[in-house]
Amino acid sequence: MSGYSSRRPHAEFMQVWEEGYVGTTESFVTMHMQGVAIFSGDGLRKPDGALDRAAILAWIEAATRGIPYSRLRLQRAPLGLTPPAWVPVPVVEMDKHVRFGDDDVLAAETLRRLIGWDEGALDVTAPLWRLRVTPLTDGRVALGILMHHAGGDALRTLKFLSSLTTSKPVTAPPTADPVFADSRAPRPGALPILALQNWWGASDTPGARWSAYWRKPVARRARRVAARITRRLRDRPARPVTVHSGFRAYPGGAVQEAASAVDATMNDLVVAAAIDAASRGDGPVRVRVPVLRRATEASRNRVTDAAIVGERMPQVADLVSSVRDQLSRARDASATDDDALTASARDVGYATLVPWLSRARHLLGARLEEVIVLPASLPDDELSTFALLYDDKLSVVVTAPATTPLEPVLDDLGATLVGVGVR
């Protein structure tokens, strides 16, 4: 028996909302996740100051061996009979997933270059991740990270970064058993059979299987199949990048103190700060804030967006209180918005805070000093905000149209995050 046929076919089918992220070229490009991890230079450079490319490649290859996301690619079923699925690849070509840049600086205008966006979008036929290692002129090293929302949310990206790094400054690469060593991608046309097997194995009785199938109306299933078949006809090209981003860092303790002063969480405070900065006295605005789906749901994306509405108030504490109450209702699925305020609010973008790790991570002995994650903004967003808490440092990144000056926005955010009070 050949090695191909002796391995089990493996496929992880996408959920409905994940499938939408790869439905058109425009949505595929829009839903890239982008970030930059900044490391101290020691360990990543040779004695002459040049990047130790061989050591970095060996480390990344060893570390990603055990990360499922790094070994899966997208595969579509014939005639759109099933959702797209993630299937394992036999070999990951590291030179296509790890790139090296020339000397650069860390600044707002270089963020996307450090991430590697100038090399284009990810290759949809390969695992959806790419890293770019760039020496910085101040001696540090930037690790640009490009991933995709179809494969997971921001927490998945941070888990990926955790797997690339170690808790202690060791120089030996991490060891991991290769994932999918006994699995293979299904043959063309086999996805419908695997989907049928999954449906059959998910329930114990014919009645339960029948109930599970009819839980989704036949008309809705037919529309989804038709949408997959006509996907190429409906395809829209990606829009040119017409946004820019800026970032600031604050002591985590200072932000926590400001949040505690108004009986709120740091996330409540970040969302309120985003609303305040976007409103700027021009009326109420609406921001998308991710909240966790129910814990029993099996999905790579366990979040859904809640619409939080507010506007600049004389007392920032009052806005924080309103945000806290709205988020609480959203988590309980009992949101009851102020109809008048909601009706007049304009959609501006996305805002959230993700707490990551309280202790430093390392790569080849180099300390991870800061992580800058760009918000998951849509092409028409006016202002999106992403904050990451790592090692008692809160990194706040905003993305807005290129015509929007970012310094006043970042100033407004900082005033709320470290100085809640009367304006």
Does the pLDDT at position 339 exceed 70?
no
Give the least confident one: 28-42, 71-85, 161-175, 195-209. 195-209
pLDDT at 51: 97
Does the pLDDT at position 247 exceed 90?
yes
How many residues make up the chain in this entry? 423
pLDDT at 338: 55
CA distance 398 to 395: 10
CA distance 151 to 90: 18
Q: What is the mean pLDDT of residues 172-179?
A: 84
Predicted structure pTM score: 0.89
- HEC string for the chain: CCHHHHCEECCEECCHHHHHCCCCHHHHHHCEEEEEEEECCCCCECCCCCECHHHHHHHHHHHHCCCHHHHEEEECCHHHCCCCEEEECCCCCHHHHEEECCCECCCHHHHHHHHCHHHCCCCCCCCCCEEEEEEECCCCEEEEEEEEHHHCCHHHHHHHHHHHCECCCCCCCCCCCCCCCCEECCCCCCHHHHHHHHHHHCCCCHHHHHHHHHCCCHHHHHHHHHHHHCHHHHCCCCCCCCEEEEEEEEEHHHHHHHHHHCCCCHHHHHHHHHHHHHHCCCCCEEEEEEEECCCCCCCCCCEEEEEEEECCCCEHHHHHHHHHHHHHHHHCCCCCCCHHHHHHCEEEEEEEEEECCCCCCEECCEEEEEEEECCCCCCCCCCEEEEEEECCEEEEEEEEECCCCHHHHHHHHHHHHHCCCEC
pLDDT at 236: 81
Q: What is the mean pLDDT of residues 382-395?
A: 96
State the architecture of 1-241 in CATH terms.
2-Layer Sandwich (3.30)
CA distance 278 to 328: 22
CA distance 49 to 35: 24
Q: What is the mean pLDDT of residues 287-308?
A: 71
Smallest Cα–Cα separation from 354: which of 333, 385, 383?
385
The amino acid at 321? S
Q: Do domains 1-241 and 243-418 have the same CATH topology?
A: yes
Average pLDDT, the chain: 88
How many other CB atoms are there within 10 angstroms of residue 188's CB atom?
10
pLDDT at 336: 52
Q: What is the mean pLDDT of residues 169-192?
A: 88
Does the pLDDT at position 256 exceed 60?
yes
Q: Is the distance from CB of 311 to CB of 320 less than 8 angstroms?
A: no
In this prediction, residue 297 has a pLDDT band, given cuts at 50, 70 and 90, of very low
pLDDT at 423: 42
In this prediction, residue 421 has a pLDDT band, given cuts at 50, 70 and 90, of very low
Q: What is the mean pLDDT of residues 31-50?
A: 94
User: Where exactly are the structural domains of the chain?
Assistant: 1-241, 243-418
Percent of the chain with pLDDT over 70: 92
Q: What is the pLDDT of residues 78-129, one digit of tens each?
A: 888 889 999 999 999 999 999 999 999 999 999 999 999 999 999 999 999 9
Smallest Cα–Cα separation from 197: which of 187, 182, 209?
209
Does the pLDDT at position 4 exceed 90?
no
pLDDT at 280: 85
Q: What is the pLDDT of residues 185-203, one digit of tens each?
A: 998 789 999 988 887 787 7
How many other CB atoms are there within 10 angstroms of residue 339's CB atom?
8
Does the pLDDT at position 281 exceed 90?
no
Does the pLDDT at position 296 exceed 60?
no
Most confident residue range from 80-84, 138-142, 336-340: 138-142
Q: Which CATH superfamily is domain 243-418 in?
A: Nonribosomal peptide synthetase, condensation domain (3.30.559.30)
